Amino acid sequence: MTDLLNLDADELERFVRALGQAPFRARQLWKWVWAKGERDFAAMSDLARSFRAELERHACVSRPEIVRTLTAADGTVKLLLRLADGESVESVLIPSASREGKERLTLCLSCQVGCPMGCTFCSTGAMGFVRNMSTAEILGQVHVAREYLAGVSPEAQLRNLVFMGMGEPLLNLDALMRSLKILNSESGPAFSPRRITVSTCGVEQGLKVLGASGQAYLAVSLHAPNQTLRARLMPAAARFPLESLISLLRVYPLRARERLTFEYLLLGGVNDSPAEAAELAALMSRVKGKLNLILYNPAEGAPYRAPDGQRAAAFEEHLRRRHITATIRKSKGSDILAACGQLRSAPRATT
């Protein structure tokens, strides 16, 4: 059984040809799956009945199952999704308002069940690693989100995608790159690369592949201004030394007026001192980037706390005095454990 969400446009055409159909049938099928979000072959009315019967025998369009939804006070919605094998992941819909007052949403996507990076401040990392998600499972989150929004808020627009959910995207590189190719397709989901951000702790080969593709913006989870502290906070990520990471990012391909985004989680008494701000400013002066400062969100079992507002503001001001673009980013969904570092799916379903 072939899951059509795993196929890009060229692969879908080859699949359709193998079923004895003309290439234009692939374009019709692609439109049903991606433009209309249809998964029932019987409803694809402009396909020949015999072709629909073949599809029923040989293909499917998968969807994760929504097990639970939680809505935060700020309108953020967390979806707990069950995958076909019983594993589960979480994805998050984050609201914002346009200038016209229309609700626009960003979907935070997961790419792995659990995470192998083991960052000490992250709930997902505390889960350990279960497995990579398939292209169909990654893209299925987009279908589920659109279907959910159509039922609860038809006027809302799914505007942006961020690979900032569960897992390290660049350690599931093949599925990530296939997903980006499909998402960028003008005849498919039609998300501009400017509307997609991939967040990574820093994986050397993955960074090279993603940069060469130009298929998404890049956000780098930094969280420490030196190798020693980074190794303590992010032991797996630190295997790619900070100096090497910065050297690679100095030559990372960027479009005109584009800058790299760096995420820096402020941990009270750990990485938020004036000395660390000075180190971070020196580091950031070597790359074309901007800093998102994030106040730590409590993660189960982690021995950290957020800095108080005054200390965080002083850290931000120190960076600005050094001419580093830095902003304290307000986390959304923390009251439902949907903010940065808080995603942690339920144990595998049992029968």
Q: Write the pLDDT tens digit of every residue in 156-178.
A: 889 999 999 999 999 999 999 99
Catalytic residue among 13, 87, 90, 263: 90
pLDDT at 338: 62
What is the identity of the amino acid at 346? Answer: A
Catalytic residue among 111, 122, 201, 340: 340
18 exposed, middle or buried (CB, 10 Å; 0-12, 13-18, 19+)? exposed
Task: Find the angle CA(121)-CA(180)-CA(70) to the nearest 5 degrees.
Answer: 50
Distance from C-alpha of 289 to C-alpha of 239, rounded to nearest angstrom = 22
Q: With H, G, I as helix, E, B as strand and everything else as coil, classify residue 307.
A: coil
Q: With H, G, I as helix, E, B as strand and everything else as coil, classify residue 232.
A: helix
pLDDT at 106: 96
pLDDT at 23: 94
CB 4 within 8 A of CB 10: no
pLDDT at 258: 93
CB 241 within 8 A of CB 281: no
pLDDT at 195: 96
Q: Report, as ranges of residue numbers, the positions in the chain whose pLDDT lies below 70.
A: 97-101, 337-339, 341-342, 345-351
**Which tens digit of pLDDT belongs to each residue from 278-336?**
999 999 999 999 999 999 987 777 789 999 999 999 999 999 999 999 999 887 777 77
Structural domains present in the chain = 2-60 (1.10.150.530), 86-336 (3.20.20.70)
**Residue 201 appears among annotated catalytic residues:** no
The alpha carbon of 171 is separated from its chain's Cα centroid by a whole number of angstroms, namely 13
pTM: 0.93
Distance from C-alpha of 231 to C-alpha of 226, rounded to nearest angstrom = 9
User: Residue 313 — φ and ψ, nearest 5°?
Assistant: -65, -35
**Residue 340 appears among annotated catalytic residues:** yes
CB 50 within 8 A of CB 22: no
Q: In the chain, where do the E strands start and end? A: 2-3, 59-60, 65-71, 77-82, 88-97, 103-108, 112-114, 129-132, 157-163, 196-200, 217-221, 260-266, 289-295, 326-329
